[in-house]
Amino acid sequence: MSARASGTTVAAEPCPDDGPVPLGADPAGAGLDPDDLPDGLVVADESGRVICFNAAAARITAIDPHDALGRPLEKALPLQDIEGRRWWQLTDPYGGLAIRSGQPERNLLLGGREVLVSARYVRSRPTGPVRRLVVALRGTEARRRTELSHAELIATVAHELRSPLTSVKGFTATLLQKWERFTDDQKRLMLETVDADANRVTRLIAELLDISRIDSGRLEVRRQRVDMVSAVRRHVQAQTTAGQLPDRFLIRMVGPLPDLWADPDKVDQVLGNLLENAVRHGEGTVTIEVGPASSGSGAEGTSVTVSDEGPGIPEESMSRVFTRFWRGSKRGGTGLGLYIVKGIVEAHGGTITVGRAPAGGARFRFSLPVGTPAFMA
């Protein structure tokens, strides 16, 4: 009999089922070789000796399959937890409670390297002895990428917070020390600057909280009646109040709109981000078109299209627009706004797309279903 080890046959017990695992309903009768698996696979028999050690396991652990096959599992794969305890002695897969079915994935140490390990106990009957111990191994590269992404998020937000907080601290300290030296107009100007910077800090913290809720799937949607046209006009007015020329914006309404039940605060976030994005990164007239939308299933809703006449987004970048930290230009911003917009729209059950506007600029279009009022949900 033989065991599979990275394409090499050595003296040992057979791999489970005496060969490759069948692919089930495969009309060609092809099989799945353990070396074809992307994750590490280690199998031990009823006596705890390794009978299968695939190529991915060898890559992840840096252990030669010939050194592992036929050896006791605790010696072939000497895993430890982060406190230095021997994993196989701690879990005792062949002893202990007979109702256990395995071990969930956790981060363990193997010769100084981190490995993600999960185990499955295969029994001949529900409470019988362990006939096979199947161990899955994965590298920690994906987890490290996630950790790096979180670190980048923290660094980005910290950098963006530093500027307004420095301004707030400077102006408040100056006013406290030299209040009587300033005129009322000077005091008002400094307090208005402090107020604007405090609002900026509040927005950044809100963005951070939104990202946390989106990533964890806990973004709550409190649906109320929303007048989308009025909301668009309100945001356009806010832009003109902030100094933009009124004739830069064009609002179009296409046909009667169905009643829309959505979270008004989050709809404001979406509109605010898209309009600010068009004003900051686009050029020419910003056109906002509001109209009815229908999906392939016939469900009704409302769609909003925001387009500009600027250079637009390069074709090769469109697939990355809604990812974290994507920036269309070097004109500031955290690069988190469109990621949050996509999360909010999808939390409503809607969709958002990006493309090229007829005038050559960027065109964002999002659609929200009619929805159900919060008190009826």
List the chain pLDDT tens, one digit each, 377 residues: 344 444 443 334 435 444 433 333 343 344 678 888 889 999 999 999 999 999 999 999 999 999 999 999 999 999 998 888 999 999 999 988 888 999 999 989 998 788 999 999 999 898 899 999 999 999 877 777 766 777 777 777 777 788 888 889 999 999 999 999 999 999 999 999 999 888 888 878 888 888 888 888 888 889 999 999 999 999 999 999 888 999 999 999 988 888 899 999 999 999 999 998 899 888 889 999 999 987 655 558 999 999 998 888 888 888 888 887 676 655 555 678 888 999 999 999 999 999 998 888 899 999 999 877 766 65
Please say whether the beta carbons of 77 and 86 come within 8 A: no
Q: What is the pLDDT of residue 155?
A: 75
pTM above 0.75, yes or no: no
Here the contacts of 205-208 (C-beta below 8 Å, separation 24 or greater) are 207/157, 207/334, 207/336, 207/337, 207/340, 208/153, 208/157
3-state secondary structure the chain: CEEEECCEEEECCCCHHHCCEECCCCCCCCEECHHHCCCEEEEECCCCEEEEECHHHHHHHCCCHHHHCCCEHHHHCCCECCCCCEHHHHHCCCCCCCCCCEEEEEEEEECCEEEEEEEEEEECCCCCCEEEEEEEEECCHHHHHHHHHHHHHHHHHHHHHHHHHHHHHHHHHHHHHHHHHCCHHHHHHHHHHHHHHHHHHHHHHHHHHHHHHHHHCCCCCCCEEECHHHHHHHHHHHHHHCCCCHHHEEEEECCCCCCEEECHHHHHHHHHHHHHHHHHHCCCCEEEEEEEEECCCCCEEEEEEEECCCCCCCHHHHHHCCCCCCCCCCCCCCCCHHHHHHHHHHHCCCEEEEEECCCCCEEEEEEEECCCCHHHC
Q: What is the pLDDT of residue 304?
A: 95
- Residue 175: per-residue pLDDT: 92
The reported pLDDT for the residue numbered 4 is: 46
Which residues have CB under 8 Å from 156's CB, separation 6+? Answer: 325, 334, 335, 336
Q: Which residues pair with 304 in a beta bridge?
A: 290, 366
Given this model, what pLDDT does residue 343 score? 93
Token pair in block for residue 25: 């309903």
Contacts 24+ apart (CB under 8 A), 68-74: 68/5, 68/42, 69/3, 69/5, 69/10, 69/12, 70/3, 70/10, 70/11, 70/12, 70/13, 72/48, 73/42, 73/44, 73/48, 73/49, 73/133, 73/135, 74/48
pLDDT score recorded for residue 1: 39
The CA distance from 374 to 319, in Å, is 33
